[in-house]
Amino acid sequence: MNPTDTSPAPVLASQTQPGSWRDLLSPAHAPVVTVLASGVGLYAMNLYFTAALLPTVVADIGGARYYAWTATAYLITAVIATMLVGRLLALAGSAKMYALAFSIFALGTSICALSPAMEYLVGGRAVQGFGAGMLSGLGYAAIRSTLPERLWVRATGVISAMFGVGALLGPVLGGGFAELGQWRLGFGVLSVCGLLLILVALRSLPSAPARLSEPAPIPVLPMVTLAAAAAALSVSAMLAGVLMWIAIGSGLLLLALFLVCDARHPHGVLPRLTYTRGNPLKWVYLTVAVFCAGVMSENFIPLFAQQVGGVSPMLAGIIGAALSLGWVGTQLFSVNASGSAARRLVRLAPWLLTAGLAAYGLLQMVNPGPWVVVAWASVLFIAGGGIGLAFPHLSVAAMRSTADEREGAKAAAAVSTTQLIAFTLTSALAGNLLLLGADPVGSARWLILGIAALTVCGIATAIAATRPRR
């Protein structure tokens, strides 16, 4: 299949017999999986790790007005980095690319650790975000060139599960350093981890790049419009009134402009198959975006558990982790499916995610009893289980969308780009939904049910993404 092939992609289908866990974790493949999973894990954990440290950072060096910019700077550079991963991977090879990504991440983290004022920390977060974006994109893109196809689904399951693991470990580790008042040491430890992983990557991954005729040009205009869309949507969460709606409208218009420019560019950010009539790749990306919208609700669950449920911070963290636990646990089961069974799981997934979130939103009430709190955790586990059923199969569907090495790497890296854009859009929406509630219960219901209204769209996109090849 060439990059301009107009026939539907063989979504969720492969002629290769799936490999086993023993095969994936064998001495021949385990070091590779360790690097790929560690990169994504470092990226995911850092999101929650830094969020837990920031209140302590502000108390120490001030700069509360820049609080939101620490996330915005990180996100914008991460989006840009994911768009470059496919091209750089083809030029430099996975070993050098991972070494570069870990180095940039460690540099940015070190800047954060040494920051004398919040302005410097925002700059460090921008550098850190670029390295983290590369790690996130490489986690999917490098699978094609470092592992045999029979292991793609299981490897993708492990790698995407690291988002759930990061959600579990990040708040605990960040909170621990914050409790000790050692936020600089926390960033320092994270930086050392990045440097150590450089050595592992250089020893484990192939150094030779893919054999391509020539490097693909960088699509400057699509990249600029997408980065601007991410910036506008991120900034909207910091504004109020008319300015907020102007920022949201500008972000959506820029996102639409990106799609137009990218579709017309011969070497766009997304693979050509994304814009090919009848090809399901566009639906794969939209379904990924829907699941990522559901994931964003996790950021607010500990807050709701404390404000609405009146539970302790520790218990609130456990309730907040229920979605990740469902995601990780179910994913380890779902990777065993293939063919028609995988299609059924992907189609079932948005039903579970939407039902779990809707139930959680409707269960928000004043003075909930202990059984209601238990029900919160249970329905969130079900919602996370929906994500785990589908995510590895959607990621592999993108990888298998073309036999062209360059387009395949771009298709895989675009999964990460899709995630970041969905996170940005949902984060902006969430900040505005919270304001609609007159009290904590009202805010919780508006936010969760609003996100559930987005995830219900996944029922249709999942069907379109899993149609068998004609």
Range(s) for CATH 1.20.1250.20 in the chain?
8-209, 267-470
- Beta carbons of 170 and 298 less than 8 angstroms apart: no
Question: How far is residue 346 CA from its own chain's centroid?
Answer: 18
Look at residue 379 in the predicted model and tell me its pLDDT.
94
Q: What angle is formed at CA 90 by the lines to CA 213 and CA 40, rounded to 5 degrees?
A: 165
Nearest Cα residue to 293 out of 462, 431, 138, 430: 430
**Residue 284: exposure state from Cβ atoms within 10 A (0-12, 13-18, ≥19):** buried
Distance of alpha carbon 92 from alpha carbon 363, whole angstroms: 51
Q: Which CATH number fits domain 8-209: 3.40.640.10, 3.50.50.60, 1.10.510.10, 1.20.1250.20?
A: 1.20.1250.20
Which residue, among 3, 202, 192, has the nearest Cα to 92 in the 3D structure? 202
**What is the reported pLDDT for 16?**
52
CATH superfamily of 267-470: MFS general substrate transporter like domains (1.20.1250.20)
Q: Of 170, 109, 105, whose CA–CA distance to 135 is shortest? A: 105
pLDDT beneath 70, residues of the chain: 1-19, 68, 207-216, 237, 313-314, 317, 403-406, 409, 468-470
**What is the dihedral sign for C-alpha 238, 243, 245, 249?**
negative
Residue 426 exposure: Cα atoms within 13 Å on the Cβ side: 27
Residue with token string 């693979």 = 271
Alpha-carbon gap, residue 132 to 81, rounded angstroms: 8
pLDDT digits over 159-190, tens only? 877 877 887 787 778 878 887 888 999 999 99
Alpha carbon 344 to chain centroid, angstroms: 23
In the block, which residue shows the tokens 């289908």? Answer: 13
pLDDT of residue 358: 95
Distance CA 80, CA 340 (A): 36
**What are the pLDDT digits (tens) for 437-458?**
788 888 889 989 999 999 999 9
Provide φ and ψ at 351, rounded to 5°: -60, -45
What is the reported pLDDT for 268? 78
Distance CA 89, CA 133 (A): 13
Burial of residue 88 (CB within 10 Å: 0-12, 13-18, 19+) is: buried
pLDDT of residue 15: 47
Quote the pLDDT of residue 188: 94
* DSSP, residue by residue, 115-155: -SSHHHHHHHHHHHHHHHHHHHHHHHHTHHHHS-GGGHHHH
Distance between CA atoms of residues 316 and 320, nearest Å: 6
For position 8, what pLDDT does the model report?
A: 44
Q: Given this model, what pLDDT does residue 2 score?
A: 42
- 93: alpha, beta or left? (left if phi > 0; alpha if psi -120 to 50): left
Residue 313's pLDDT is: 63
pTM: 0.74
Count of other CB atoms within 10 angstroms of residue 207: 11
Residue 391 main-chain phi, psi, to 5 deg? -60, -50
Contact residues for 263 (Cβ-Cβ < 8 A; gap 6+): 275
Residue 386, pLDDT score? 92
pLDDT at position 360 is 94
Please tell me whether residue 345 adopts helix, strand or coil conformation. helix
Query: What are the two backbone dihedrals, phi and then psi, of residue 432, each rounded to the nearest 5 degrees?
Result: -80, -35
**C-alpha span between 152 and 191 (Å, rounded):** 29
Record the tokens describing residue 469, joined without a space: 């090849």
What count of residues does the chain have? 470
Q: What is the pLDDT of residue 87?
A: 73
CA angle 354, 357, 359 (to 5 degrees): 105
Query: What span, in angstroms and rounded, lies between the C-alpha atoms of 93 and 97?
Result: 6
Distance CA 66, CA 68 (A): 6
